[in-house]
Amino acid sequence: VSSYIWMRLLESAPQRYDAGVRLLSMGHIERVYRRVAELVHGTEVLDLGCGTGNMLLHLAGRGLHLVGVDISPGMLAVARKKIPPGAARLVQTGVAELTDQFPGQSFDTIVGILLFSELSEAEQHLALHQCNSLLRSGGSLILADEVPAATWGGRTMHNLLRVPLLLIAYLLTQTSTRPVRDLEAKLNEAGFRIVLRESNRLGDFSLVQAAKREE
């Protein structure tokens, strides 16, 4: 779980990213991709912060119209090599510009894996509102990310695992991820209804599916 801190380290070297993620998550991240792929519905799917395209690879070949968005051109360059030609459209952009890139109500499902932990509070807020306007009626948003553990024991374990890695990650990358606080409250505020929530044993990694609320 603490391996997600390495995201920042790995993102600075997109070429090493996949091997690193597999090694450090000990397969955990693959399970997340598979679970999210089960939950994706509809035909128009947007992967926010698609990185090197792992989630898109899990969705390719199902006849979906896939769009991947990432702020890093380096990550997208790796994704372009991995994803079969024509399987997904890749767009370089930030989360504050989604509505510049896509018309309203264009997607059935939007997924965001390990993305929100890299955004500032204000960016999370804006991104959720933009996602809401990009989703069609009945569409849903699926987020999987680091969250603060709910129990004292979980937080202690999390800190024990995280702090040493945090220090190394700081030294190497000068950046780090930050667990997403009050994710469900933020989703509610942005016009979503929580449909499903799953957590790991430590309670510091969550998967949330939220449906666009019909006003």
Partner 1 sequence: MTVTTVRDFVLDLAQILLRSLSWPATPGLVRVGNPGRDSPVLVTCNYDLTVRRVLRALRGVDAYLLVAPTKGINVWCGAAGGYFAAHQVISILRTSGIAELVDHRRLVLPQLSATGVERKLVEQRTGWRVVFGPVYASDIPAYLAGGRKTEAMRQVRFRLADRLEMAAVWALPFSAIGGAVLAIGWRDLLWPFVTMTWALALGLYLFFPRLSGTVGPSRRPPAGWARYLILFDPRLRRNATFWALFVVVMWGQAYARGAVHIHHLMGWSLVSLFLMLVISMDLDGSTPIYKSGLHEDRFLKVELNTEACRGRAMCWEVCPKNCYTVDAVAHKAAIARPDECVQCGACIVQCPEDALAFVTPAGERIPPAAIRTYKLNMLGKRSNTIAQAGRS
List contacts with partner 1 (CB under 8 A). Answer: 8, 12-14, 71-74, 77, 92-97, 100, 119-120, 122-123, 125-126, 170-171, 173-176
**Residue nearer to partner 1 on the CB measure, 33 or 170:** 170
Least Cβ distance, residue 134 to partner 1 (angstroms): 15
CB of 88 to partner 1, least distance (A): 18
To the nearest whole angstrom, how small is the minimum distance from the Cβ of residue 122 to partner 1? 4
Sheet of strand 192-199, all strands in order from the earlier edge strand to the far edge:
88-92, 65-70, 44-48, 107-113, 135-146, 205-212, 192-199
DSSP for residue 5: G
Decide whether 76 or 110 has the Cβ nearer to partner 1: 76
In the bound state with partner 1, the residue whose beta carbon lies nearer, of 74 and 154, is 74
* Residue 97 vs 184, nearer CB to partner 1: 97
Rounded to the nearest whole angstrom, what is the least distance from the CB of residue 71 to partner 1 in the complex?
Answer: 5
Residue closer to partner 1 by CB (options 44, 70) is 70
Task: Say what the alpha-carbon torsion angle 142, 143, 148, 153 is, to the nearest 10 degrees.
Answer: 60
Residues 59 and 45 sit within 8 Å (Cβ to Cβ): yes
110: DSSP letter: E
Residue-wise burial string across 118-155, b where 16 or more C-beta atoms lie within 10 A, e elsewhere = bbeeeebebbbbbbbbbbeeebbbbbbbbbbbeeeebb
Q: CB 189 → partner 1: shortest distance, Å?
A: 15
Q: What are phi and psi of 133, to 5 degrees?
A: -75, -20
Tokens of residue 20, six digits: 């690193």
- Residue 68 β-bridge partners: 47, 90
Closer CB to partner 1, residue 30 or residue 97?
Answer: 97
Question: What is the nearest approach in angstroms of partner 1 to the Cβ of residue 172?
Answer: 9
